[in-house]
Amino acid sequence: MIKKPFLIAEIGINHNGSIKIAKKLIDIAKDANFNAVKFQKRDLDEVYSKDELDKYRVSPWGTTNREQKKGLEFGKKDYKIIDNYCKKKKIDWFASAWDFKSLEFLDSFNLKYNKIASAMIISKPFLEAVAKRGKYTFISTGMSTNKNIDDAVKIFNRRKCKFELMHCVSTYPMKTEHANLETINALRKKFKCKVGYSGHENGIAVSLGAYMMGATSLERHITLDRTMYGTDQAASLEYSGMKMMTEAIEKINLAIGKNKIGKIQEEELPISKKLRSHLNNEKFK
């Protein structure tokens, strides 16, 4: 039997700077039987150059990149609300930090997990800082070479920090033919560790395929409405898609069952008697 995966609802920045929307996303994640919700945390001046932040960009928050990105960032007060709300709803939350200041910011919360975003896997100092904290860490492998992944695994093993790689293709939305789910088996074989899947595709078929490949975790972006403003909304699952995925996993897990080779199941006996009754004739003996 394939063990059911740890399900992560990636809220990311799909809250659009609204605590009200964030709470609704937490609600649907809980109702759809996900195990945790995940956010993203950035210190804008650490992650982006001044030139990048000063670029012209029309958004609901203003006309520059800085105004847009600032509008999508939650602060300490916001995360305290999120922390309390998740405790109330009995669902875990964590976040992927994109810089050292954000990593320190998250230290102020008693979180079970850390997450290395695909963008951050190439930074050895950052990997060291996360591994040093000793929390179970999900490591996305999008845009990564074998050396990038090997370096990350060595750092976490040396620090004796438990981790899980997550096969990921960093395109939004990802085309089905780019999924290359066989990579899950390859990563598991090479690094002798748990391997999950972080998906950015439309629909649930690829994620279910990852589950059947033995993915130990599944992470999908979620949204209230795929047509909402935001770069990640279109590659996200709405509530109906989330429910379809979790219910399909339950059905697949139930269907896999046990090895019954050579055994007639009890439910088959009356059918067997009916359909084979003609074989009692002399000519079939």
Q: What is the pLDDT of residues 98-151, one digit of tens each?
A: 999 999 999 999 999 999 999 999 999 999 999 999 999 999 999 999 999 999
Whether 2 has a pLDDT exceeding 80, the answer reads no
Give the tens place of pLDDT for each residue, 77-92.
Answer: 999 999 999 999 999 9
Helix, strand counts (H, E) of the chain = 12, 10
CB-based contact 111:94 (threshold 8 Å): yes
- Residue 280: per-residue pLDDT: 84
Res 110: pLDDT:
93
Asked if the model's pLDDT at residue 1 lies above 60, the reply is no
pLDDT at 248: 97
Q: Give the number of domains in the chain.
A: 1
pLDDT in the model for residue 244: 98
pLDDT in tens, 14-71: 999 999 999 999 999 999 999 999 999 999 999 999 999 999 999 999 999 999 999 9
Tell me what pLDDT residue 76 has: 97
More confident residue, 285 or 275: 275
Q: What is the pLDDT of residue 3?
A: 83
Ramachandran quadrant class, 271 (left: phi over 0; alpha: psi -120 to 50; beta: rest): alpha
SS (H, E, C) 3-37: CCCEEEEEEECCCCCCHHHHHHHHHHHHHCCCCEE
Residue 116 lies in a domain: yes
Residue 278 placed within a domain? no
Residue 76, exposed/middle/buried by CB under 10 A (0-12, 13-18, 19+)? exposed
* Inside any domain, residue 88: yes
Question: Would you say residue 117 lies in a domain?
Answer: yes
The predicted model gives 213-217 an average pLDDT of 97
Model pLDDT for residues 137-177, shown as the tens digit of each residue? 999 999 999 999 999 999 999 999 999 999 999 999 999 99
Does some domain include residue 170?
yes
Give the domain extent around 246: 6-258
Q: CA angle at residue 267 from 264 to 270, to 5 degrees?
A: 90
Let me know if residue 269 belongs to a domain. Answer: no
Local confidence band at 283 (pLDDT 50, 70, 90 cut-offs): confident
Q: List the alpha helices (DSSP H) in 16-143.
A: 19-31, 44-47, 50-53, 65-71, 76-89, 100-106, 124-132
Residue 275 inside a domain? The answer is no
Inside any domain, residue 273 = no
- CATH of residue 168's domain is 3.20.20.70
